[in-house]
Amino acid sequence: MTTLAHIRRVIGSRPGVVDHDPAARPAAVAVILHEDQDGISALFIKRAEQLGDPWSGQIAFPGGRFEVGDADLLSTAIREAREETGIDLKEAEQLGALDDVNPRSPHLPPIFVRPFVFALSRRPPHTNSPAEVQRSFWIPFKTLIDPATSTQITMTLRGIPRTFTAYKVEGEVIWGMTERIVRLFLERITA
């Protein structure tokens, strides 16, 4: 089983790959980890349903777009986690960044997402912003690496059926950029 010490070593061994269209709008997410006697878990959110939001209602990591007051994308991830879940990551251990992720659909806004990985020594209470988050919950890594959790889903987007790799966990489906971040992260720490 993967430990926080192992993740710290692997993520710290190389910076995330910066790979995006210079015209794309920057965004960041916080991959928040906690280790206890059952292993490592990550915090996920279910985004609030909002008209016009292409990621409305999806399972995601806390995060959002870079804003003018943010010093850098790390600051964006910290600010967004606090705004969405009430968790203050300023005192958390910052383990590093993962590779940039870009949407694969031409129908989505031109953005790129930089995932930052944090470790918490304890699970703090989280208070979700109702305007942004329906709920937040921890998923153990042992659940995410279980082959029974990984699946294919078919969704009709703009009238066209498309099949995606996804995780089915706790009655929720993790797909899209979040699924890609999870998969890339798990591949990196288990290689």
In-domain check, residue 34: yes
In-domain check, residue 156: no
In-domain check, residue 92: yes
In-domain check, residue 132: yes
**Strands 111-120, 59-60: parallel, antiparallel or unpaired by DSSP?**
unpaired
In-domain check, residue 71: yes
The total number of structural domains in the chain stands at 1
The ranges of the chain with pLDDT < 50 are: none
In-domain check, residue 165: no
> Whole-model pTM?
0.92
In-domain check, residue 123: yes
Q: CATH number of the domain that 140 lies in? A: 3.90.79.10
Q: Which range marks the domain in which residue 36 is found?
A: 4-144+173-190
Instruction: Please tell me the predicted confidence (pLDDT) of residue 178.
Output: 95
Instruction: Please tell me the predicted confidence (pLDDT) of residue 18.
Output: 82
Instruction: Please tell me the predicted confidence (pLDDT) of residue 89.
Output: 95
Burial of 156 (0-12, 13-18, 19+ CB in 10 A): exposed
Whether 38 and 22 have beta carbons less than 8 Å apart is answered as no
Instruction: Please tell me the predicted confidence (pLDDT) of residue 83.
Output: 94
Query: Which tokens belong to 4?
Result: 């926080």
CA dihedral 105, 108, 110, 114 (to 10 degrees): -80
Instruction: Please tell me the predicted confidence (pLDDT) of residue 30.
Output: 98
Instruction: Please tell me the predicted confidence (pLDDT) of residue 16.
Output: 84
Instruction: Please state, in angstroms and rounded to a whole number, the distance separating the CA atoms of residues 47 and 60.
Output: 7
Instruction: Please tell me the predicted confidence (pLDDT) of residue 147.
Output: 92
In-domain check, residue 154: no
Q: Which residues pair with 30 in a beta bridge?
A: 116
Burial of 8 (0-12, 13-18, 19+ CB in 10 A): middle
